[in-house]
Structures are given as C-alpha cells and as structure tokens.
Amino acid sequence: MTGQKRNPNNEDDPASKRNKEEDNPLTALEFFSGIGGLHYGLCHAVAHQNRRVSVRAAFDINTVANTVYAASFGVQPRTRTLDCVTVKDISAFGHIDLWLLSPPCQPFTQGGNCLDDKDERSKPLLHLIQLLPLLPAKPKFIFLENVPNFETSACRNLLVACLQKLGYSIDEFILSPMQFGIPNDRRRYYLAAKMVSPTTDTSSNEPITPDLTLNLKTTWPLDGSDPVSVPPLSEYLETLDDVAPFLVPTQYITKRPTFRFDVVRPDSTRTSTVTKSYGTKMVTRSGSLLQTQKMEVVQPNFEDNASIVELGLRFLTPREVARLHAFPIDDATDNLPHATKLVFPESISVAQQYKLLGNSLNVKVIGDLMKHCFFS
C-alpha cells in the first residue's frame, strides 16, 4: 500500500493555507494612529492564525505620537490632514483589507462641548465617510473606537448610514477592560463593520432609509458564560528603586480637603480610567492613585486630609499604565506575532508618555473584539 502524496497546491492542506496567509498578509490603513493601539490590537486579533499584519500607512497629526509609533514599528506615520486625502491617495496603497479608526473624542465629550459633527475635529472622520463610497475597492473590515456618547452622535448615524448603503453588517459595543480580565475600568464605544453584500451601484440617487437603531452589546463574554476573573493590580506593578518621582505632591492633596480621591492598593481589582492629564495636578479626575504607606489603613478617612497624605499616594508609572492597556511594553510577546514592543524614545518625557497613553486604548479589548467580529 502506497502513501498518498500531498498536493502542494491543495488549499485545504493546513501548511499550504498557513503559507498562503504569510505570503498574503492582512493589510490595513490606520487613521488617527496615535501610538499604534489599533495596530497592536489587530496583531492580537490574528495571533491565533499566526497571520502577518501589514499596516500600509498610518496617519496622525500628533508628531510626538508619531515619534513613538516610528520607534515601535519602524514606520513613520503621515502627518497629512485626513480631510485632504483623496480617492487617488487611498487607492495608491493597493489592496486594503481593513480600516482602523480612532478619531478625536472631544466632539463627543462634555469637556469638548459635545459639538459632534459641528466640531472642527470631526472633519477628518466626516471626510473619510464621504470618501468611502467613492473608492473602487473598499475594505472588507472597518473598526472604530471612541468614547461613550459617540453612539448617540450625528457622526455615528452618518457612518452607519454609509456602511449600510455599501453592504456592511455592523456590530456596536460599549465595554470595559474589566470584562476582559484587566483591573482597569475604561468604558469605550466600538464599531465593527464587515462587508457581507457589497453594492455595485453607489451613484444611485434613489433615497434610502437607513436603519439607525442602536443595538449596543454591553456584556462580555457574549455567549453568556461566566464573567472573566480580574487579577489584582499587583500583577501590573513595577518594583521601583526610587518611588519619589511618582509620589503625588502634598499640595495636590492638602488643597482639596475632604475630597474622595480614587485610592487603590496592590490588592485592588479595579482602577479608574487614566486620562491625558494623569501625572499632573488634575488628580481629581485623571486616574487612580496607588497607596504605598500605612497599608494597615484599608478605608481612607477623607475627612482627615492629613491622614490621606500619610498614605504615600503615588501615580502609576507609564509602564504600569501601558500594562493595564495591554501594550507589549516589556517584551515582544509571543501572542503578538510580527509586532514589536511599545517603545518610548528618551526624547519622550514622562508627562508626554502619560498624555499619549491617556489618549490611547486597550489592546486586548480591541484584539478580542476584532477576533470575534472578523476572524473567529
């Protein structure tokens, strides 16, 4: 009895399929790229396939973020304003599987006056929405991240209406990293769109009535299984030789008598959202503060300002914040194939690192959602 020879062209053969994926990487464009959180999330999403990711171009006007992106990925993002990008510009990148978008959140926040589509910072996103139907070859996948409130915005409705007309199916979420087993409560809005029935005629003047019904998914896992356990904060903390640079200045506390600071301990299983103001005097709403002294005090007495000072509160370090956001800051881990670790060049100050991380996102949440919506 003779063995059957393997057909090297047989696409059903696992090795052949794996080689094909490596020869044909998943291609993407990353808009509003920041320090590459969506890039890392995409690498996480396809890790189970061991598939290579090729981000053909990244776009961001923040030159400090671009310095970090270039140091991490070896690719310099383009600083061209997105509301000037043309169909020809996009088509020049060749076949693109996926658009990654993390547009400015200020148009949808109270701090930004909730101007929505009237905000100048919404112009780049609105331009991309107008550009998408004009492309001769449209991406199969589109993934967008933003803050809660985006789901009720005019920008969201314009995007959903455009995607529906082009034949995309859409999933929308508001989720927190805590639901994915990370002790950080950073609720964000996510939209995942997948091309299922591409339309061939996008020039029709016939009016369409988009279904703008909001069907948000707010629970995870989606299959109704038990919630993921959350480890203590201690698993994300550094061993610091010198804690002094990260201690909260005494005056930040004494100027706010009776204020209930968000004090966390190494055994805490929740930290609050870190904003771009973290590490500054904006200690009341920028993130959690870690207790390092008087560990026998489990419940701080916020009526006694002096006792709060004695707790030795410190800011989480940039590395600790990056770990909570699931960035590969320590090593290029095996579960992010073809991705390098996040690198902050020496020219990037600690204050800049906090600001960049506060404007960023959670890599694991992004990756798990992409995997579920696009690659499961």
Residues annotated as part of the active site: 105
Give 185's DSSP letter. B
Nearest-angstrom CA–CA distance, 267 and 101: 35
Q: Helix crossing, 363-370 with 37-45: angle to 10°?
A: 40
The number of C-alpha atoms within 13 Å of 159 and in the hemisphere containing its C-beta is: 30
For residue 38, the one-letter residue type is: L
Please confirm whether the linkage preceding 221 is cis (ω < 30° from 0). yes
Residues 277, 282, 286, 288, CA torsion sign: positive
Nearest-angstrom CA–CA distance, 122 and 247: 37
Residues 31, 337, 196, 149, CA torsion sign: negative
Maximum distance among all Cα pairs of the chain, rounded to whole angstroms: 87
Nearest-angstrom CA–CA distance, 373 and 355: 30
Residues 136, 103, 157, 83, CA torsion sign: negative
Whether the CB-CB separation of 303 and 261 falls below 8 Å is answered with no
- Beta carbons within 8 Å of 88's beta carbon, 6+ residues apart: none
Nearest-angstrom CA–CA distance, 341 and 228: 26
The neighbour count for residue 14, using CB atoms within 10 Å, is 8
Nearest-angstrom CA–CA distance, 271 and 79: 34
